[in-house]
A and B are shown apart, each in its own frame.
Chain A
Amino acid sequence: MTKILFACLLACVATLASAQANLEINTPAINNLKKAMTERHAQLGPHYASGAIGIARDGSIALANANAVPLPQRAGVGGLIAAENTDRSALYREIARANGKPEWEAEIRNTFGQRWIEKAQPGWSVQNAAGQWVRK
């Protein structure tokens, strides 16, 4: 009987340990998305710095201040934002899937939403808790 109890305990500890381990983020799909986003960041960077594009709380990016974008560039910026958000959504979905937990997608998105803002540089537009755009 003690043996069985001990086995139960061991199984419990093993499950806990695996739950605390790292999330799988090294799959071809995730790496491709990461690469595309890293390349796009070169174009997005100046718009973050100008405050035109802001980091939203929901893990996406959005146009925070259209006036900060010269008129001829506005269409291009809209396309950049749309492409980035498509990749970000795919990234959250892929991470959830890579870990065998598609139901985690929303929580992964939430986590990213906080961390994108946390890692944003001073001066970038970020969305505060009230949903307003502020410069970090």
Chain B
Amino acid sequence: MNPVHKPRRLLLLAAVSGLLMQGACVTINIYFPAAAAEKAADRIIEEVYNLRRDGAPASAPGSGAPKPAAPAPPK
């Protein structure tokens, strides 16, 4: 046996398995993300059905730090 052949075969094997893996990735990416879609649907539906009472956005006050007093006129 010629010792050069062995690494070459390994190289081929690695290349083929790499291609296979990438093929699998593309296949996976095409699949519809059912769980993510369900989560997105629930968020929208809860808002439309008015089931979300927790998040009162925007107008909620209280985060502002006490306003600094007007600077005293320089003497």
Which of A's residues lie within 8 Å of B, judged by CB?
1, 4-5, 8-9, 11-12, 15-16, 18-23, 25, 30, 34, 37-38, 41, 91, 95, 104, 107-108, 111-112, 115-116, 119-121
Q: In the complex, which range does the number of interface residues on chain B fall in?
A: 20 to 34
Q: Which of B45-53, B55-63, B64-72 contacts A (4 or more CB under 8 A)?
A: B45-53
B10 touches A107 (CB 8 A): no
Q: What is the interface of chain B mostly: helix, strand, loop, or mixed?
A: helix
Residues of A within 8 A of B31 (CB): 19
Closest 7 CB pairs of A and B: A23-B40, A115-B41, A111-B37, A12-B25, A107-B32, A8-B18, A37-B48
Query: Nearest A residue to B18 by beta-carbon distance?
Result: A8
CA distance A41 to B45 in the complex (A): 11
Instruction: With both chains docked as a complex, state the minimum distance between the C-beta of A41 and any C-beta of chain B, in angstroms.
Output: 6
Residues of A within 8 A of B49 (CB): 41, 119-121
From the candidates A5, A30, A91, A104, name the one contacting B32 in the complex (CB within 8 A). A104
B10 touches A12 (CB 8 A): no
CA distance A12 to B45 in the complex (A): 33
Instruction: With both chains docked as a complex, state the minimum distance between the C-beta of B40 and any C-beta of chain A, in angstroms.
Output: 4
User: Do A21 and B36 form a contact, CB below 8 Å, given A12-B22, A115-B41?
Assistant: yes
